[in-house]
Amino acid sequence: MPHRPVLPHFAAGRKPAPSADPTETAVPVRTAVVIGGGISGLIAARDLARSGLSVTLLEAGPELGGCVGTHRVAGLALDSGAESFATRSPAVADLVAELGLADAVVSPIPGGAWLQLPGEDVAAAAQPMPQSGMLGIPADLRGPEIVKAIGRAGAARAALDKVLPVGGLARRESVSLGEVVRARMGEAVLRRLVSPVVGGVYSSDPDVLDVDSVAPGLRAALAKHGSLAAAVGSLRAAAPAGSAVAGLAGGMGMLSRALEEDLLARGVKLETGTAVDAVDRAGDGWTVSASGRTFSADALVMATDGPAAVDLLAATVPELAAARPGPGPGVALVTLVVDQPDLDAHPRGTGVLVAAEVDAVDAKALTHATAKWQWLADSTGPGTHVLRLSYGRALSAAAAAGDTRPGPVDREDDDLFAQALADASVLLQVPLGVDDVVGWDVVRWVGALPSAAVGHRDRVASVRAAVEQVPGLEVVGAWLAGTGLAAVTTDTRARIRGLVEQL
């Protein structure tokens, strides 16, 4: 991939004056070490290199990209993690364009997902997911699909949202998403609409999540408009037109590969299989010890998960200890490639979100990938389908206390495979057997989805304040930016711009 020459960047007041003496010693190139080769680390390394720094990236694992990766199943190159990005901001689209992938951006096939609700008749308890909402919170409570999902009694309770006073919900320092929805619209909306969406997106319970972290601006809109439905409607109206998500023809793993190629072209040193043992402040710079080697740099970027970042910086920035996050939920993703022509009709649209109370299914969500992405359907041809089933969601403290089942990351591959076949048969209402499967794989993510629990916003603020006091240091990643490529990309690029300005 061709690139224009990169000119060194110098902060204001540091650019050397021109000299006619060709023997004059050049100003040394500034150096940076990035710890962590996930998507935030790759973006950070690229923007540092574009600003003229000599960059080394250290990744403990054998591959780069983290949750934006690729695996091969039945001969197909498929996403092993993220399969789309939110289009609420241009951040990811801009990055993709810079990397020469703009023509690969695609929208999902229209149709949308379904919602699996609890009920004795599983088929009758499934319905298309209501579209006029945000995180499952409806903007129009009168819609027939809303009434069908929550029942007439639930709809009557939800209608009180129009007349209930806002009270302290908009003023309290922190509050969970679950508490806001329950107080405004009632338990039926929370459990039958919001919980399935939140479980699918964040692998978490709404009562765990900080509303300001997962739905920025929602409480302010609630205070302004006087109802939660009107608040959601106003936020939806302000969002960009078009599909809420997009992907890449060929899979989101193309983004990580393009970033890696770009870094190599810029001369960035990529060190995989290099676990960092210690980080020390050395004068005005940094010393990083990793796998028996030592790396020195003027700037340091921590792009690891939250616990690892805090632990490595504990000696240098002791204030971070109080903000150390707990591990995020463990998630297992089971990918099935099946030969079953009955699925050509796309019986449940692009997939199914599952309410936690559905006893017949363990999966929290199913994505019918070949019904969602035309490029993938073209790759497989009629009759062959790619299904992605995800397992694992963080529960509220009360629910977790009574849950004795093994977590998804602790279950054996064969067990998860059998469970996925059974769950897909129920959710899609098409029997699937072992003989229908032409390939399958299990990918586990531990802590990949940070839990934005109540108080998360304050924790992020305290981390940012502590890091700002240390010259030449920045900390990036989903544990601070929030879940999703758009959030991570926006935050990482902003943080790196600020770091470069310091140097």
The domain that holds 162 is classified in CATH as 1.10.3110.10
| Nearby residues of 258 by Cβ (< 8 Å), 6 or more positions away | 1, 99, 100, 101
CATH number at residue 430: 3.90.660.20
The answer to whether residues 385 and 322 belong to one domain is: no
Residues 363 and 376 in one domain: yes
Residue 278 CA: distances (Å) to CA of 281, 293, 308, 329, 464: 10, 11, 11, 26, 21
Domain-embedded: residue 151: yes
Tokens found for residue 423? 């769950």
Instruction: Report the distance separating Cα 356 and Cα 370, nearest Å.
Output: 25
Q: Domain check: are 287 and 336 in the same one?
A: no
Residue 399 has what pLDDT?
A: 47
Same domain membership, residue 457 and residue 312:
yes
427, exposed or middle or buried, with CB in 10 Å at 0-12, 13-18, 19+?
buried
- In this prediction, residue 24 carries a pLDDT of 52
- Tell me which of 238, 262, 279 is where a domain ends: 238
Residue 321 shares a structural domain with residue 463: yes
Are residues 223 and 139 both part of a single domain?
A: yes
Domain of residue 470 covers 31-66+254-326+452-502
pLDDT of residue 369: 98
Q: Are residues 259 and 316 in the same domain?
A: yes
Residues 314 and 355 occupy one common structural domain? no
The whole-number pLDDT of residue 409 equals 77
Residue finishing a domain among 169, 204, 238? 238
Distance between CA atoms of 137 and 129, rounded to whole angstroms? 11
Residue 265 domain flag: yes
Instruction: Check residue 238 and give its pLDDT.
Output: 83
Residues 229 and 287 in one domain: no
Measured on CA atoms in the order 185, 86, 94, 500, is the torsion positive or negative?
Answer: positive
Is residue 331 exposed (0-12), middle (13-18) or buried (19+ Cβ within 10 Å)? buried
Q: Is residue 99 part of a domain?
A: no
**Are 376 and 437 within one domain?**
yes
**Prediction pTM value:** 0.88
- Is 26 contained in some domain? no
Domains of the chain: total: 3
Inside any domain, residue 7: no
pLDDT at 200: 85
139 part of a folded domain = yes
Judgement on whether residues 340 and 427 belong to the same structural domain of the protein: yes
333 and 318 both lie in a single domain: no
Domain final position from 205, 238, 271: 238
pLDDT per residue, tens digit, the chain (503 aa), is: 444 333 333 333 334 444 445 445 455 789 999 999 999 999 999 999 999 999 999 999 999 999 999 999 999 999 999 999 999 889 999 999 999 999 999 999 988 899 999 999 999 999 999 877 899 999 999 889 999 999 999 999 999 999 999 988 888 888 999 999 999 999 999 999 999 999 888 888 999 889 988 898 999 999 999 999 999 999 988 877 666 899 999 999 999 999 999 999 999 999 999 999 999 998 899 999 999 999 999 999 999 999 999 999 999 999 999 989 877 678 899 999 999 999 999 999 999 999 999 999 999 999 999 999 999 999 999 999 999 999 986 554 444 445 556 677 789 999 999 999 999 999 999 999 999 999 999 999 876 555 677 778 888 999 999 999 999 999 999 999 988 899 999 999 999 999 999 88
**49 domain-assigned:** yes
